[in-house]
Structure 1
Amino acid sequence: MTESKPSTSSVPSESSMPDWEKRFRAPRVSLPDWAEDAPDRSLFVSNATGTYELYAWDRATGEQRQATDRANGTTDGVLSPDGAWIWWFSDTDGDEFGTWLRQPFAGGPDTEAVPGLAPSYPAGLALGRDGRTAVIGRSTDEDGTTIHVVRPDAEAPVEIYRHRESAGVGDLNHDGSLIAIEHTEHGDAMHTSLRVVRLDGSTVAELDDTNGGEEELGLEVLGFAPVADDSRLLIGHQRRGRWEPLIWDIASGEQTDLALDLPGDVSAEWYPDGSALLVVHEFEARSDLWRYDFASGALTRVETPAGSVSGASARPDGSVEFLWSSAEEPPAVRSTTGGVVLDPPGMKAPTSVPVEDAWVEGPGGRIHALVQKPAGTTGPLPTVFEIHGGPTWHDSDAFAAGPAAWVDHGYAVVRVNYRGSTGYGREWTDALKHRVGLIELEDIAAVRAWAVDSGLADPERLVLAGGSWGGYLTLLGLGTQPGAWAVGLAAVPVADYVAAYEDEMEALKALDRTLFGGSPEEVPDRFQVSSPLTYVDDVKAPVFISAGVNDPRCPIRQIDNYVDRLAARDATHEVYRYDAGHGSLVVEERIKQVGLELDFASRHLPPRSA
C-alpha cells in the first residue's frame, strides 16, 4: 500500500499547463443569489483564489468583495432579504458540523449569528424581511432535527420543532408569520411531507402524500409567494410519477395542479411580482426554461442554448439569469437580455467534446448513458465508467472537468443513469430499495456489455470509478463483478456499510433505514449483501481510494476497515487521505487527486492487445 502525501509543487504557468488542469483552475462563478428587497446586492461562489469562497457583488457600483477566506473553502451562504447581511455556515475542515456566522454586506468582522445555539449539522435557514427574524434548522446525533426561531423581542432562540427523523426548514412567508417545514416523521427519508406552522410552532396546515409512509410519494417546498398578503405556497409533488409544481393556498386549503405539458421532471420558482413562475424542465439529461403566466395560463419557452441549466433566477425587471453549460462548453452565467452576466477574469477553461446518448435495454427498463470519446478515435478504447453519486442524482449534458480529463488522456468515458437516478420518473428513482447497490450494478453491467459489444470499449481495459455513492458502487462492483474491471478508482466511498452507518451523520442514517428497510440491527442480511466489505476478498483489480479524514457522510473508519482487509491479503491498492470532508473545495487538491487517479490507471491498466 502507498500512503500518498499532499503535493507542495508550485502551479505551472498557463503556457505549460495541460488543458485538463486548466479546466479545474479556470475561474468559475455560481449563479448569483440576490437580496429580495435590495436586488442590486448579490452573493456568489467562486474559485478565483484557488479555493471556493463566497463573494459579495454590488451590481450598482460593480464592486466585488471576497467575503470568506478559509483554508478548506466556503460555499454555504445566504443574503438577508434586505441585503444588509451575509450569513454563512462555518464548519471545521469540511466536517459540515458548525454554526452560522454573519457579516455586513459591505464588509466587517464575522460575528455569531445566533448566540446560544450549539454547533450542529445545518437543516435549513430562512431569514425574515425585517432583517431580525431567523428560522434555523439543526440536526445532531443526540437530538435528531430541531427548528429554532430567533425574533427581535426574544432573548434567546426558541425551539418550535423536534423529531428524531430528518426534517428541514423550507421557507418563511413574505410577512414572516408562517414557516413551511419538510419532514419525514412517517419514517421514509426519501419522501418528505409538509407542515406549515406559525412562529410559535402551532400548526396551520399539513400535506402528506405518503399516507403515513404507506405510499412512496413525496413533496417539496419550492417557496412562498414573494408578495405581501399572498398565502400561496409553491410546492413540488410526485402524484403522476414525476416531479411537478403545484400551488397550495394555505389560507383556503385549495390546491391548484398546474399539469404542465412537459415530459420529465418539472420544478419552478416565482417571478418576483408573483404573477408567473419560472419553470425548470429536465428531460433525458438536458434542461430548459419556461415561463408560466397565471393570468393567461400560457406556457412560453425562455430561450437557452442546448445543454443543461444548473440554476436560474427571475429578476425584478422580468429578465432571467441562468447558469448554463454543456459537456462541450464551460459554464457561464447568462441572461435573457443577452450576454454573460458575471464573467470572472483570468484564464478560460478549454472546451471538451460533446456527449453522445446511448439507450440500453436493462433488467429494469431502458437505461440512459452519456458517452464521450476523444475526437477522431474509433474503438475499442480504454474506457472509464464514471459513476455518479447521490444516488438520487443524475449525470447530464453539463460541463465536467473530471470526465474531460480522461478524454484528454485517450479514454472513452461512459456515465450511466442507473436505477436510483433522478430525472426518469419516480419508479426509476425508488427502484433500488432493499437490494441497495446491486440494482445499480445490474444497470452498469448492461451498459458495460453494450459498450463492449458496440466496439466502443476494450473489454480488457475497463475502469470503474466514482465518488461518494459512485465510490461505493465502485468498491461493490469490484467485489461482485471481479472479472469485469481492470482498475477501480473510488473517491470518498462507502466501504464497510455497517461501520459507515454507525459513524455517519444522523440524516444519512435515516436515509439508510429507508433504503434498507431498517437499521443494521434490524435487517443485518440486507446490509451485509450490499456492503463492499463483504466481497473485499474477491477483488482482483488494483484499486485506488481517496478519502477525506473529516468526512461525515462516508467516514474514515469504515474506509480504513476496508483498506486493512486489502492490505491483509497484499492486494494491489493505494490510498490517499486528505484533510477535508466529503470532497475538497481547494482547486490544487482536486487536481492532485485526479492526477493520482490518472497515474494509477496508466500504471495498472494492461497494455492494449495487438
Structure 2
Amino acid sequence: MTETSDSMPAWERRFRAPRVSLPDWAVDAPDRSLFVSNATGTYELYAWDRASGEQRQATDRPSGTTDGVLSPDGRWIWWFSDSDGDEFGIWMRQPFGGGEDVPAVPGLAASYGAGLALGRHGVSVVGRSTDEEGSTIHVVREGSGPVEIYRHRESAGVGDLSHDGTLIAVEHTEHGDAMHSALRVVRPDGSTVAELDDTRGGAEELGLEVLGFAPVDGDTRLLVGHQRRGRWEPMIWDVATGSETDLALGLAGDVSAEWYPDGSGLLVIHGYEARGELFRYDLASGELTRIDTPAGTVSGATARPDGAVEYLWSSAALPPRVRSTAGGVVLDPPGLRAPESVPVEDVWVEGPGGRIHALVQRPAGATGPLPTVFDIHGGPTWHDSDSFAAGPAAWVDHGYAVVRVNYRGSTGYGRQWTDALKHRVGLIELEDISAVREWAVASGLADPERLVLAGGSWGGYLTLLGLGTQPGSWALGLAAVPVADYVTAYHDEMEALKAMDRTLLGGTPEEVPERFAASSPLTYVDEVRAPVYISAGLNDPRCPIRQVENYVDRLAARGAVHEVYRYDAGHGSLVVEERIKQVAQEIAFASAHLGTGGSGAGGEAAGA
C-alpha cells in the first residue's frame, strides 16, 4: 500500500516534494523556457511556453536528465545523453514543441562534456574531453560536420560565444594548474584574437573564468571573473582593444555577475559567509543598487528582458522557490509540499589555518549533548550554505544535531582559503573538521560517544580518511561515492579529474607516491575502528567502483564492521526513490550501531 502524505514521515516528504530549477530562457524568444523538475520521481527536463502556460516533459530516462540548453531562437532543446549516469555521451536535440530526439552533432563521438555555446545563424560550439584525446573544441554549422578548432592534453572548455557568433571564449589550463584557468578568445576558424592569463608573472597563480559576452551584436566586451584581490570579482575585458575595466564593487565576499539583456547593466550575485544577495550595477553611472531578497541563499538568478529578476531562493528552514522581483512565485510545482526544517546557527572556530565557519542545526528545543552528524560537503571547491537540504533535515528529524564545516579548500572565503589544501590533500581539511569537532564536544552540543562522520564524493573521501587518521574521534562513518584508494582512483577516473589531482598533489602517483599515500584512505584502512557504511555507483566516472572495492576488500579481510551498498547509477542518483532508500539505510545503520532509535526502509546491500 502506498503511504499517503499524512502518514509519510516529514523527512521523506522533503525528498518527494516536487522541485524545480531556475528556468533558462531563449534569449531571442523569452517566452520559451527550460527547467529541471523531479515531479515524476526522476529529475528530467521540461519545456515551458510562458505565453500559453503549457509545460511539457521533454526527456524521460531511467537515470534522469539535467543537462539541457535552449537555442537562442527557442526552436531547439539540446540535452546531454549519457549511459546510466556515467557522464560520457553525446548531445541530442528535439524541437521545443516536441518531436523526435536526434543527435545534435552527427559525426562527433561520445565524450565527457566540456562546455556548450549555441549561437545564432546555425553556429554552435561544442567542448569535449576524452582520456585519449584530452580536450577538444568543435565549431558546428547547420548542414555541415563539426570542425575541430582546439586541442590540448590539459583541461579546457567552451566559455561563451559572442552575440554575433564571431568570437569564442575558451577557458584552458595549458599551464598545468587545473585549479586556475587562463582565457583565450578565438575566431570560429580557431585563430587567436586575444589572451588573458593571470597565472603568469606573479608569485601566486590566479584563476579567471568566463561570465559572458555582452549581449549586443558587434560588441567585443567580455565579462570575466578574476581573483586579483584575493576573491572572485567581475571585470570587463574588451578583447578587441585589450582594455580592462575593473569593477571594484566594495563587496566583501565572492562576486559573480551576468549581463542584463540590453547590455546596460550587470546582475551581481554576492556570496558571503554562506548567504547570498543580489544587486544591479548600472554601467553608465557606476551605481550599485541592492535587489531585495529574503535572508538565505540565492542559488541562481537571471534578468529578464522587462528588467525583472527571477531567482531561486531557499534557507535551511524554508524550501526553495523560484521568485521574481516583479512579485510572487514564478514557477510553483503542483502536489506535495516540502515540510519546513529548522534554521542554521553560525559558528566560528579558531583553527590551525584561521577562523573556520560551520553551520549547525539541532532539533527544536534540544540542548545536548546530542548524537551529532558531521555532514561534510563535496568538491572540495564548494561550500555549505544557509540553503534547504533534505539530507541534513532528515537527521535533525531523527534527533541528531548536524554540523557542516566549510574547511580550507571550500569556496566563498577567499582564494587563499580555497587554495590552502595543496600537497597535503585531505589532511588539511580534517584538521579543520577536528577543530570544529572539539568545539562541538566542549560546547555541550555533541555527545563524544555518538559522533558520526559523513559525506558524499569529496565528503565521502574525507569520511574514510578521517576514520583512518582519527580513529578515536568518530563512532561511525557514512561514505557515499567516495575516493577510497587514491592511486587506483587516479588511474580510473575521468581525465579532467586526473588533471585536478595532479594540481592538488603536485604530480602523478608515480611522480609523488608519498603524497598520494599520505592522502589515501587505503593507507590507513587497518586503523579504522568505527563501523562504516559505504554506498557507491557502479557507473561512477569520478570515484570509480574498482577503487572502492579495493578498500572494502581490506575491511573485509580483517573483519571490520562495515556495510556496502552498490547501485546502478553514476556519481549519485537522480531518482528520488533511490535517494530516499540510501538515506533510510544510513539512518538505520547509525541507529543499529549507536542506539539512537532511528529507522528506515532498507534495500539490498552487499557487505561483510
TM-score class, shorter: over 0.9
Question: Secondary structure at the residue paired with 1:324?
Answer: strand
Alpha-carbon separation, structure 2, partners of 1:300 and 1:129? 33
Alpha-carbon separation, structure 2, partners of 1:192 and 1:290? 26
Equivalent of residue 15 in structure 1, options 6, 9, 14? 6
Residue number in structure 1 paired with 2:287: 298
Equivalent of residue 129 in structure 2, options 121, 125, 139? 139
1:149 matched to 2:128? The reply is no
Question: Secondary structure at the residue paired with 2:499?
Answer: helix
Residue number in structure 2 paired with 1:345: 334
Equivalent pair of 2:371/2:596 in contact (CA under 8 Å):
no
Residue number in structure 2 paired with 1:6: none
Question: Secondary structure at the residue paired with 1:598?
Answer: helix
Once the two structures are overlaid, the 10-residue window that deviates more, 209-218 or 490-499, is: 209-218
Residue number in structure 2 paired with 1:379: 368
Equivalent of residue 207 in structure 1, options 196, 212, 225? 196
Structure 1 residue 364: Cα displacement: 0.1
1:390-429 residue pairs with structure 2 within 5 A? 390-429=379-418
1:541 matched to 2:506? The reply is no
Equivalent of residue 231 in structure 1, options 220, 223, 231? 220
Residue number in structure 1 paired with 2:28: 37
Equivalent pair of 2:477/2:533 in contact (CA under 8 Å):
yes
Question: Secondary structure at the residue paired with 1:15?
Answer: coil
Structure 1 residue 215: Cα displacement: 2.8
CA deviation vs aligned residue, 1:212-266 (integer Å, no higher than 9, x gap): 7963200000000011121110000000000000000111111000001110100
Residue number in structure 2 paired with 1:67: 58
One-letter code aligned to 1:223:
G
Residue number in structure 1 paired with 2:76: 85
1:272 matched to 2:261? The reply is yes
Equivalent of residue 209 in structure 2, options 202, 216, 220? 220
1:53 matched to 2:41? The reply is no
CA deviation vs aligned residue, 1:34-67 (integer Å, no higher than 9, x gap): 0000000000000000000000000000000000
Alpha-carbon separation, structure 2, partners of 1:51 and 1:158? 35
CA deviation vs aligned residue, 1:351-405 (integer Å, no higher than 9, x gap): 0000000000000000000000000011100000000000000000000000000
Alpha-carbon separation, structure 2, partners of 1:505 and 1:206? 27
Alpha-carbon separation, structure 2, partners of 1:22 and 1:152? 46
Residue number in structure 2 paired with 1:442: 431
One-letter code aligned to 2:170:
I
CA deviation vs aligned residue, 1:104-144 (integer Å, no higher than 9, x gap): 000000001000001000000001122x2110000000000
Alpha-carbon separation, structure 1, partners of 2:205 and 2:197? 11
Residue number in structure 1 paired with 2:485: 496
Flag the 1:212–1:46 CA change in 2: closer, same or farther, 3 A.
farther
Once the two structures are overlaid, the 10-residue window that deviates more, 514-523 or 204-213, is: 204-213
Unmatched 5+ stretches in structure 2: 598-608
Alpha-carbon separation, structure 2, partners of 1:129 and 1:405? 46
CA deviation vs aligned residue, 1:521-563 (integer Å, no higher than 9, x gap): 1000000000000000000000000000000000000000000
Structure 1 residue 152: Cα displacement: 3.4
Flag the 1:607–1:79 CA change in 2: closer, same or farther, 3 A.
closer
Alpha-carbon separation, structure 2, partners of 1:607 and 1:481? 23
Question: Secondary structure at the residue paired with 1:220?
Answer: strand
1:594 matched to 2:583? The reply is yes
Residue number in structure 1 paired with 2:453: 464
Question: Secondary structure at the residue paired with 2:590?
Answer: helix
Residue number in structure 2 paired with 1:94: 85
Question: Secondary structure at the residue paired with 1:14?
Answer: coil
Residue number in structure 2 paired with 1:577: 566
Equivalent pair of 2:590/2:596 in contact (CA under 8 Å):
no
Structure 1 residue 281: Cα displacement: 0.1
1:486 matched to 2:486? The reply is no
Residue number in structure 1 paired with 2:98: 107
Alpha-carbon separation, structure 2, partners of 1:152 and 1:348? 44
One-letter code aligned to 1:74:
T
Question: Secondary structure at the residue paired with 2:490?
Answer: helix
1:331-342 residue pairs with structure 2 within 5 A? 331-342=320-331
Structure 1 residue 11: Cα displacement: 4.6
Alpha-carbon separation, structure 1, partners of 2:82 and 2:2? 28
Equivalent pair of 1:247/1:256 in contact (CA under 8 Å):
yes
One-letter code aligned to 1:177:
T
Aligned CA RMSD, in angstroms, stands at 1.0
Equivalent of residue 117 in structure 1, options 94, 108, 112? 108
Equivalent pair of 1:186/1:212 in contact (CA under 8 Å):
no
Equivalent pair of 1:101/1:112 in contact (CA under 8 Å):
yes
One-letter code aligned to 2:86:
D
| Residues matched between the structures, number | 597
Alpha-carbon separation, structure 1, partners of 2:436 and 2:519? 21
Residue number in structure 1 paired with 2:171: 182
Alpha-carbon separation, structure 1, partners of 2:53 and 2:202? 50
Alpha-carbon separation, structure 2, partners of 1:38 and 1:19? 40
Flag the 1:212–1:94 CA change in 2: closer, same or farther, 3 A.
farther
Unmatched 5+ stretches in structure 1: 1-9
Alpha-carbon separation, structure 2, partners of 1:462 and 1:348? 32
Structure 1 residue 607: Cα displacement: 6.7
One-letter code aligned to 2:47:
A
Alpha-carbon separation, structure 2, partners of 1:59 and 1:294? 30
CA deviation vs aligned residue, 1:271-327 (integer Å, no higher than 9, x gap): 000000000000000000000001110000011000000000000000000000000
Structure 1 residue 164: Cα displacement: 0.2
One-letter code aligned to 1:141:
D
1:127 matched to 2:118? The reply is yes
Equivalent pair of 1:88/1:101 in contact (CA under 8 Å):
yes
Structure 1 residue 16: Cα displacement: 1.2
Alpha-carbon separation, structure 1, partners of 2:238 and 2:288? 21
One-letter code aligned to 2:261:
P
Question: Secondary structure at the residue paired with 2:42?
Answer: coil
Alpha-carbon separation, structure 2, partners of 1:344 and 1:524? 51
Equivalent pair of 1:187/1:213 in contact (CA under 8 Å):
no
One-letter code aligned to 1:180:
A
Alpha-carbon separation, structure 1, partners of 2:250 and 2:423? 34
Greater relative contact order structure (CA < 8 Å, 6+ sep):
1
TM-score normalised per structure 1: 0.97
Residue number in structure 1 paired with 2:603: none
Alpha-carbon separation, structure 1, partners of 2:60 and 2:126? 24
Equivalent pair of 2:299/2:313 in contact (CA under 8 Å):
yes
Runs of 4+ in 1 over 4 A off after TM superposition: none
Alpha-carbon separation, structure 1, partners of 2:507 and 2:468? 24
Equivalent pair of 1:188/1:213 in contact (CA under 8 Å):
no
Alpha-carbon separation, structure 2, partners of 1:212 and 1:18? 58
CA deviation vs aligned residue, 1:91-111 (integer Å, no higher than 9, x gap): 000000000000000000000
Residue number in structure 2 paired with 1:319: 308
Residue number in structure 1 paired with 2:249: 260
Flag the 1:607–1:320 CA change in 2: closer, same or farther, 3 A.
closer
One-letter code aligned to 2:129:
S
Equivalent pair of 1:220/1:235 in contact (CA under 8 Å):
yes
Structure 1 residue 434: Cα displacement: 0.1
Flag the 1:159–1:11 CA change in 2: closer, same or farther, 3 A.
farther
Alpha-carbon separation, structure 2, partners of 1:158 and 1:11? 53
Flag the 1:11–1:207 CA change in 2: closer, same or farther, 3 A.
farther
